Structure formats: C-alpha cells, structure tokens
Structure 1
Amino acid sequence: MTQKTQNTISADGFDVAVRYAFRVHKEDGEPVRRILDEFDIVDYSCKPFADDVYLYLPLLRYPEKEERLAVRDCLMPLILSLPHPKEKMEYHSWYVKDLSFQVHKKAPTVSDLLGFSVAYEIIGDIAVLDDKIAANESGDEIDVSKVADAILTAHPAVKTVLLSKGPISGEFRTRDLEFIAGIDKTETVHKEYGCKYKVDLGRAYFTPRLSTERHRILAQIEEGDVVIDMFAGVGPYSILIAKSAKPAQVIANDKNDAAVELLNENIALNKVQNITALNEDALFLAEKYASTGDHVIMNLPHNAYDFLDTAVTLCKSGGIIHYYAMTSEDDLFDGSVTLIREAAKKQGREIEVLETRNVRSYAPRQYNICLDVRIL
C-alpha cells in the first residue's frame, strides 16, 4: 500500500512538512524532475534542498511497486546517457524516507486570480490560450487581456501570451496566433527531458502535450536501431532518441522548410551527431531508405494514412510503425488497424499489433491515438 505523507508541522518560525524524497545528483535534478512530473508524484508545495552531492525532491507519496518500476524504466535511458551511470543504477536508493521540507508560501493560480478556469499550454516562455476560450461558466464573455495578465502573474517565467485563433490546420499543421500580452513574439526555447527545442509557433508545429508519448517511444529504441521520423517537425522525437538512446542513425524528415531550419538548429543546440535532417515529401523517402527502418514514426495524425504504403516499404522485416491518427470513440483502433493491414498486404507482408493507445482527447468524442505495429 502506498504510504501517505505526514501532516505539515511548524518549526523555527516557518512551516515544514515531512515527506518521502527522491534523491538525485544535483546536476541531473531538472531532467529527472521533468520525468517524475509525468507521474504526478512531485510535491510542489514543498521546497527541494541539496547537500554537497544530492538534490532531494519532495514527493506527494511513496509510489506503488508498479509505479516505481515505471519510473525506473523511464529514467534508465536518461541515466545511461549521464556521465556516471554505474552510481545511478542503484535505483532502490533513490527514495529516502521522512525528510523535512520547507513549505512554499502558496502562490495564486490562474483560476484563483480569475475565479474560473481557462485552457492554455505553456511552451518555453510562451503561453498559448485555447481557441475555444469565449465565455465562462455563467455565459459572460471573457476578457482575454485579463486572462493574459493572470497567466503572467501566476507564471513569472512566462514572457508572452498568445491566443490561438482556430485549430491546427494546413499542410504544415500551423496555428493562426494573436498576440495578447507581454513580449510580441512566436519564437522560444522549450526544454523537455534534458533536450532543448527552438520553436517558432507561427511557422512550425510543436506541442508539449506529447512529451510522455515521445518518452514512451524512446523506451522502445535499442542500440543500433535505425529510426525514420517521417514528419519530424522541429525534432522532438528524433533529437530525444538520438541523444538518449544509441541508435545507429535517425532519419528526421519534414516537408516544411521552416521546421527543417529549426530542426537543424536544434541538432546543433543539443550536440547530437547521428541525425540526418531531410526536407523531402515523405512519399519519396522509400527511394533511398526502403527496408532500413527498425522504427518508423508517423506523427501526422490527421492524414498519416496517406503515407502508409511508404511506411511499410521503409520497414525492414520486423520493423515497427508508430502510427498516429485522429479517430472517433465509435472506432478508436479497428479502422486504423485495417488500413495498416491493407497497406502491408499490398506488399505481401503481414502485421502484428503490439500496442494500441489512446494518447489524448482532441475534441468531443475525438481522440489522438497511436498504434505500434510490427511489419513482418
């Protein structure tokens, strides 16, 4: 059974709380914290502290065994890429019982400041308000400038607030954005799992909402694999894999000139060597890379089905396609499995469905899904 944290007590004029802690080398604290954050176990009401060697991150609870194993599996690719992996392999010593942490003074949230909730995402130092922001629960029109002020107050690191004027659209999956407050810009640097990505939200697609999904794919990459990222964008899948796994090669392709320009900047920014950046129509990748891919990533959910014939051709025998799609709740997976099976059948090949995942809700009754399918 998961052990709960103890109640807050008062000592030396300030509030402290006794918590389980996650112990990590100080220099690795931020990438590890980002991974732990995906499991919702970091207690942000408490202030981390460090000694000469370690940083101690306060936890909301001591994770169950299955959760501890999942944390370990997510951290291992990062640990093996760090300068002192042997010392970090002792994952059972990561958790420390009954440490005292100073409690943060509670800062107001956006909801506290406004009196109602709004949807937004933070990318680097830019906050993007959801395009559906129109009225609060009482039906009153929302003043987006007041929402922007609340975001800037609640998130001191945010420098810009933009309003999405509609859904992602067009061949290059971009958004029409309106400047609301702060610094008028669309460029920023977003940090995720120890990688840095320069993005331009007005010219190339990027979302932090797939960070967990990107890490899930990373965990499947084995040393010496060839990875083909057919729709790489600015490189969040490709660079993470090249930096944290040991692939023989990553082919990162995108048709959007602006995205590939940023991709090349991000390759240099993250100091990765084993990536080939291409600016091609994905339909033509098979001319050079047929039967070479151990993993083929198809993160173009609105119309990846148009490229399935090429993806099958790219896969070596036993290669895996990671196929993303937008589907309705009436047919989450079956239709997509049929499309992949038919594409494989054209080439005299069979498939094995390894995993089906509902990645996130996209719209009412619509979901962003992923299928991991082995091509035999």
Structure 2
Amino acid sequence: MIEAWAVRIPKRQGEERRQELIRDGFIAGNLRPQADGDDLLIPVTGSPPGTERALFKQMQTAPPLPRHEQVGGIAIMQENDPRGAERILAARPSTHTVLYAEGAVEGEFRTKTFSVLAGTPTTRTCYLEYGYRFTIDLGSAYFSSRLSTERQRIRSMMNDGEAVCDMFCGVGPFPITLANRAGWILACDKNPHAIHLLIENLATNRTGNVLPMLGDAARLGEIFGERFDRVLMNLPLIAHQFLRTAAILTRPGGTIHLYALQEREGEYEDEIRSIIPDSTITERFLRSYSAGRWHAVYDIRRDL
C-alpha cells in the first residue's frame, strides 16, 4: 500500500469527478481508487484544497495509450493511427468509437470532419457532466468538454432568478448547467442541428426555463434589447465581433462573458473598452490551445 493525497467524493459522482481530474491533469494514474463507505477516495498528485491522506494499492502499469480526448463514448485521437485506435477501444470498455479529426473547426457552424478509426461508425454519443446528460453529435454541432469547470464557475457567480442569454448555445451545456439558478435563459444558435440536440437535451434533463431560438445572434439586440443580467459569448474565434449586440442585450450592472482565443494578454481589452467604456473587466486564462495561443475569458461588468 502507498500513502498519497486523495479527493473524497460520493460514489454516485465518482466517474464524473474522475474524468474531470483526468482532464485537469490531477489524477495519480498509478494508484487504484479506493472505496470508503458511501465515498470514493481518488488518488491525486499534489495536495489541492479539500484533499486528505489515504492508502492506495499500486496499479499494474500498462503501456500508455496514444494521445486522445475522451468525450462520452468517443475517443478523439490526435494522430491518424488505426492500431492505436484499436488499443484505446480494447482498453476502455465504455468507448464505442475512436475518431480522428481531419482538420480544424471550420464553416458557419464550427464543425469538424472526422474519420472513424475503430468501433461504431458514428459521431454521436452521450456525455455526462456534473449529473447532467447531453446527447452530442461532434460531426454536426460543436461541443467542448473542456469547459466543464468554467460552466460551474459561471453558475457559482449567479444570483438566483437571473435572466441569461447564451448567444451561441450549441447543444446546451451552459444553459442546462445554469438553468436551476436562472429565472429564464434564452439559448440561441444559428445551427439547426445544434438547436435540435438542445431541445432533446432540455427534455432529457427536464429543464423547463430555457427558450431555444434558431437564429443569428447579431439580430438579438433588435428583438430583445436590454433585458439580461448575464450574457454568454462562447464563440472564441469571432465572439468579439458581436460585442455591440451583447452590450445592447445587457442591463446596467449585468455581466458579459466573452470567450476568446488570443496570442497576448489583454488582446481584446482595448476593443472591449471602446464598445463598453463604462465597464469593469477581469481577464482569466482557461487553457492552452496551440503554440503561443490560449483560450481566455473576459468577465465584463457593465457599470452603467
């Protein structure tokens, strides 16, 4: 037995939290999680807040799997490696498909083209996040599992009863996560496949205060005006182009969350101040995206 730092979580949340720890790079992969009554002790590296010391059995080390991202039952490989895909499929019983992305996000609907390397020929899967269940189709509507912690951060910032607008909602991860804190949420996207999946996910999660809208986010200011306490702009490549509309949608004292890919700190701050001069701006690093480029979010509080 080996003593190590551990995160204690209820068993019913075990797999979701384990996947989150894997994504964040905290899990100690050489040690086996341990049951303790109704809880599960998951071994982690370092000693982040909320950890404790526990004894674990060491796992037999297997050859490392090829680099990939796990999204529900789909593994997305970084290399076109059919043999590696078969290894992933054999090592992970819950994985039904291994894909290879043939290019970057492109087109009006921010989608990727995939080839199937192993398993069931599909881009559709079910993804679990903090107790919510999402049906996604990676080939027809953009989805990122890497913002799960960010969705929880936004939820923790909210006051009960807020009116929220998600200008680029996709299949609904932000609206469904925030719904039980909000008064109501407008969820807009111009991709009909995304809206179709959003409606399916609203029904699955029994979410009744989200209004799906198929449309162009640039027109929202003409339709709704200054009605929302919080506006989400998760379209990192071009969201800044919609800032004027977001400013029209946001009440004084409300907050805009602008997500962006950038090459230098504060890259969009001058543009934000030129459009929303009376504002308080907080910039946060989210994750590395590529060499010299990272994913950031600007929390913009509209003061007047």
Structure 1 length as normaliser, TM-score?
Answer: 0.74
Say if 2:156 is the partner of 1:223. Answer: no
Measure the CA separation in 2 of the matches of 1:163 and 1:344.
Answer: 41
Cα distance in 2 for residues equivalent to 1:222 and 1:125: 34
Distance, in Å, in 1 between the alignment partners of 2:173 and 2:157 is 16
CA contact (8 A) 1:226 1:295 kept: yes
Q: In the TM superposition, what are the counterparts of 1:108-257 in structure 2 within 5 Å?
A: 108-111=63-66, 118=67, 120-130=68-78, 133=79, 144-243=81-180, 246-257=181-192
Query: What does residue 254 of structure 2 align with?
Result: 319
Separation in 1, partners of 2:55, 2:291: 44
Q: In the alignment, does 2:27 pair up with 1:100?
A: no
Structure 1 partner of 2:219: 284
Once the two structures are TM-superposed, the CA of residue 338 in structure 1 deviates from its matched residue by: 2.0
Q: Secondary structure at the match of 1:219?
A: helix
2:300 maps to which residue?
A: 373
Distance 1:190 1:236 in 2: 10
Deviations 1:24-46 (CA, angstroms, capped at 9, x unpaired): 33334344445555664443433
| 2:280 aligned residue | 352
Q: Give the aligned residue type for 2:230.
A: H
Across the aligned residues of Structure 1 and Structure 2, the Cα RMSD in angstroms comes to 2.3
1:358 is displaced (CA, Å) by 2.8
CA distance in 2, matches of 1:25, 1:168: 37
**Structure 2 stretches lacking a partner, 5+ long:** none
- Determine the structure 1 residue equivalent to 2:290: 363
In the alignment, is the contact (CA less than 8 A) between 1:298 and 1:324 conserved in 2? yes
Inter-CA distance 222–34: structure 2 relative to 1 (3 Å threshold): farther
Q: How many matched pairs?
A: 303
Listed one character per residue, the Cα deviations across residues 53-93 of structure 1 (whole Å, up to 9, x for unaligned) are 33333344443xxxx2xxxxxxxxxxxxxxxxxxxxxxxxx
Q: For 1:318, what is the secondary structure of its paired residue?
A: strand
Q: Assess, with a 3 A threshold, how the Cα gap between structure 1 residues 315 and 57 changes in structure 2: closer, same or farther.
A: same
Residues 326 and 41 of structure 1, relative CA distance in 2, 3 Å threshold: closer
Tell me by how many angstroms 1:359 deviates.
2.3
Q: CA deviation at 1:149?
A: 2.0
CA 1:364 to 1:288, structure 2 compared with 1: closer, same or farther past 3 Å?
A: same
The one-letter code of the counterpart of 1:126 is: I
Which letter does structure 2 place at the counterpart of 1:121? Answer: E
User: Could you tell me how far apart the structure 2 residues matched to 1:310 and 1:28 are?
Assistant: 39
**Kept in 1: contact 2:23–2:146 (CA 8 A):** no
2:272 counterpart of 1:340: yes
- Distance in 1 separating the partners of 2:165 and 2:191: 17
| Partner-residue secondary structure (3-state), 1:169 | coil
Q: After the TM superposition, which parts of structure 1 deviate over 6 Å for at least 4 consecutive aligned residues?
A: none
| Identity across matched positions, percent | 36
**Distance change (3 Å), C-alpha of 1:26 and 1:210:** closer
Bigger fraction of residues in strand: 2
Residues 60-71 of structure 1 mapped to structure 2, 5 A cutoff: 60-63=45-48, 68=49
Rounded Cα–Cα distance in structure 2 between residues aligned with 1:361 and 1:19 = 28
Q: How far is 1:109 from its partner? A: 1.7
3-state SS of paired residue (2:160): coil
C-alpha distance in 2 between matches for 1:287 and 1:124: 38
Larger radius of gyration: 1
1:306 pairs with 2:291: no
Q: 1:46 — aligned with what?
A: 31
Distance in 2 (alpha carbons) for counterparts of 1:152 and 1:28: 24
- Which of the numbers 23, 27, 42 marks the counterpart of 1:57? 42
Mean Cα deviation higher: 316-325 or 39-48: 39-48
Shift of 1:231: 0.1
C-alpha change, 1:62 and 1:305, in structure 2 (3 Å) is closer
Deviates more, 1:183-192 or 1:207-216: 207-216
